[in-house]
Amino acid sequence: MKILFVLHLPPPVHGAATVGLQIKNSKIVNEAFDCKYINLGTSVTIEEIGKRRLVKLWRYFSILWQVLKAVLVHRPDLCYLSMTSRCTPFYKDATLAFLVKLLGVKIIYHFHNKGVSLNQDKLIDNLLYRSVFKKSEVILLSPNLYPDIQKYVDSKQVYYCPNGIKDVEWKPTSKEGRTLVQLFFLSNLMESKGVYLLLEACKQLKQKKLSFQCTFVGGVGDINREQFKSKLIEMDLVDNVNYVGEKFGKEKAEIFSNTDIFVHPTLNDCFPLVLLEAMQYSLPVISTIEGGIPDIVDVGLTGFLILKNDTEALVEKLELLIKNPDLRLKMGKAALQKFDREFKSEKFEKQITLILQQALRNT
């Protein structure tokens, strides 16, 4: 059976693009179907995301042409579309969806984001959502995300597929006798990822005279290097917090191996792959009750979850783990065990293959 995959691929590197590349390179998926892949992204850098540029419009029309040509020549039995949930990216994806539907091909949408419920009361958006979701099936990352689309999609039309990542080989760094506890934040510098919240927590940890170092890794987003550096000076954190930019491969692995606690106080997320990465490095995780994160972190067993924007709770949990190395090790071990059970790439690829096979049987 033939499947046309219209999905995000790097660059830039973000969750949906990482999963898209994983699907494209999956031996399991490519052996199960006759696959055709088209990159849905119109931005090639993080800085371009959300900005209106003429070159992005040109890239979009190129994508439309590629999809039209693929449907007419490849003649797929199913189109897999990595759909964006709202605003301008949704309108662009909806146009692609209508084109594919007009040509008589069934669509299955895979959401790596949320926000449908935020716009569903707007007249135009409501009409578009009804048309887009009509006679289509949806893949979500977690049952916790279903309320976002339940106005338009019956639960019988929904499949659930948690993300998974490739296993890595790594050698643990000896941390015995070390007094300076290493905290790690991995994401683009964006307010929505909790950057300022974590900095405020670090400020309070320093005031408590706790011994720690926090390393920020990732590309710039709506916070640039100068703004981040100014914040460190303002909060007297220059000696405690370090931003090292983007890191990949061995450099990123070295930071993970040297880390004691992984912190991701995100304000807007669905199923952050960085949490899975931290778990495979045997790290306890502190994150927020947001999106599908409660499916990832077992509270009190593999880490802690706090309410969004709750600096007091973040400081409390960080202080607890900083002061208790045995608890960090215990939670890290449990996190690795859960990763091995639930979040390896092979399990994800098998699940997405089964879902697509079922969708094809439903055509």
pLDDT tens for residues 67-104? 999 999 999 999 999 999 999 999 999 999 999 999 99
pTM for the whole structure: 0.92
Percentage of residues in the chain with pLDDT exceeding 90? Answer: 89
Compute the average pLDDT of residues 221-245: 96
For residue 200, what are its two tokens? 């405020």
Helix (H, G, I), strand (E, B) or coil at 271: coil
Compute the average pLDDT of residues 216-241: 95
Cβ-contact 228, 55 below 8 angstroms: no
- Hey, what domains does the chain have and what are their CATH numbers? 2-164+344-361 (3.40.50.2000), 181-342 (3.40.50.2000)
Residue 172 pLDDT class (50, 70, 90 cuts): confident
Q: Can you tell me the distance from the alpha carbon of 280 to that of 96, in angstroms, rounded to the nearest whole number?
A: 37
Residue with tokens 């399991």: 28
Q: Taking Cα atoms as reference points, which of 110, 101, 41 lies closest to residue 76?
A: 101
Cβ-contact 152, 116 below 8 angstroms: yes
- Where in the chain does DSSP place strands (E)? 2-7, 34-39, 78-83, 106-111, 137-140, 158-160, 181-186, 212-217, 241-243, 261-264, 285-288, 303-306
Q: How many CA atoms lie within 13 A of 237 on its CB side?
A: 27
Q: Can you tell me the distance from the alpha carbon of 96 to that of 134, in angstroms, rounded to the nearest whole number?
A: 15
At residue 263's C-alpha, the angle toward residues 307 and 143, to 5°, is 55
